[in-house]
Structure 1
Amino acid sequence: MLGDLIGEEQGETTGIRVLATDGGHPAMETSFQAAGTLLGVDVKDMGTYESVVRADGTLFGEGQGVLMTQDGETVTWHGSGVGRFDASGAVDWRGALFFETVASRFAQLNGIAGVFEFHVDGNGKATAKIYEWK
């Protein structure tokens, strides 16, 4: 069941690299940085994901990253999702994140999936919301 909103962030793309163009389906690597909150705690998020444009024009992506608090606690994440381009060149992603941490205030994340909405506009500005999935 989709649960509470557990995180929100805003950021931007910091790098893009083409990995392959096999069969006319480009694979790209995108890195980003963002700032926001996770379980009400201020965090910075750094991540990289690989995406492939599929035959129908949608995207499939997988990524990983680390969320860090101001005092050095970390939460790592792995995720995957699907994306769709809109007419303006923006991409809307939907998918799931899986967390790992030893930080006690984030311990509940070890046993859940986070369902995300991630929007990247045509200029590389990004916003995200993460919901708990129990």
Structure 2
Amino acid sequence: MLGDLIGETQGQDTGRRVIAAGDGHVTVEVSFQGSGSYFGVAVNTIGTYESELRPDGSLYGEGQGVDMTADGQSVTWHGSGVGHFTADGGTSFRGALFFFTTSPQLERLNGVAGVFEYETDASGKSTGKLYEWK
């Protein structure tokens, strides 16, 4: 069951590269940066994910990143999800993130499975929402 909204993010792709291609198989690495908040605590985020184009046209991705508060506290995350291309040339993903932090402000994220909705447009601008999975 979906629980409370953990937070929202906005970002921009900062780099893309093809890391595998051939025989109908394509994997692209995307790096991004952005900002948002978790439980009302503002963070700046950087991350990288790999997205594989599957033969049926769907996407599978795995990624990792770090989010930092203004005073230098951090939370790391790892996640995976599935998605598809959108009509406007962007992507739409759904998946889960898992966190680790020693930050007193963000320790509520430890042990949480965060379920996300993540959208990008053709220019690489992104928005995301993250909910606690109870």
Structure 1 length normalisation: TM-score? Answer: 0.97
Secondary structure (helix, strand or coil) at the match of 1:105 reads: coil
Q: Distance in 2 between matches of 1:44 and 1:105?
A: 14
- Give the letter aligned to residue 35 of structure 1: S
Q: Distance in 2 between matches of 1:70 and 1:105?
A: 12
Residues 75-124 of structure 1 show CA distances to partners (whole Å, capped at 9, x for unaligned) of 00000000111121110000000000011121121111000011000111
- Give the letter aligned to residue 57 of structure 2: G
Q: Distance in 1 between matches of 2:77 and 2:69?
A: 14
- CA contact under 8 A between 2:41 and 2:105: conserved in structure 1? no
Give the superposition deviation at 1:64: 0.1
Q: Distance in 1 between matches of 2:38 and 2:16?
A: 26
Q: Distance in 2 between matches of 1:111 and 1:48?
A: 22
Q: Distance in 1 between matches of 2:23 and 2:39?
A: 42
- Give the letter aligned to residue 15 of structure 1: G
Seq. identity, %? 60
User: Which 4+ residue blocks in structure 1 deviate beyond 6 angstroms?
Assistant: none
Q: Distance in 2 between matches of 1:109 and 1:130?
A: 11
Gaps spanning 5+ residues in structure 2: where? Answer: none
Structure 2 length normalisation: TM-score? Answer: 0.97
Counterpart residue number, 2:77:
77
Counterpart residue number, 1:93:
93
Q: Distance in 1 between matches of 2:115 and 2:45?
A: 16
Task: Provide the aligned C-alpha RMSD in A.
Answer: 0.7
Which structure shows the higher helix fraction?
1
Counterpart residue number, 2:27:
27
Q: Distance in 1 between matches of 2:99 and 2:59?
A: 23
Q: Distance in 2 between matches of 1:88 and 1:107?
A: 38
Q: Distance in 1 between matches of 2:25 and 2:89?
A: 17
Counterpart residue number, 2:53:
53
Counterpart residue number, 2:104:
104
- Matching of residue 119 in structure 1 with residue 119 in structure 2: yes
Counterpart residue number, 2:131:
131
- Give the letter aligned to residue 125 of structure 1: K
Aligned length in residues: 134
Secondary structure (helix, strand or coil) at the match of 1:108 reads: helix
Give the superposition deviation at 1:25: 1.4
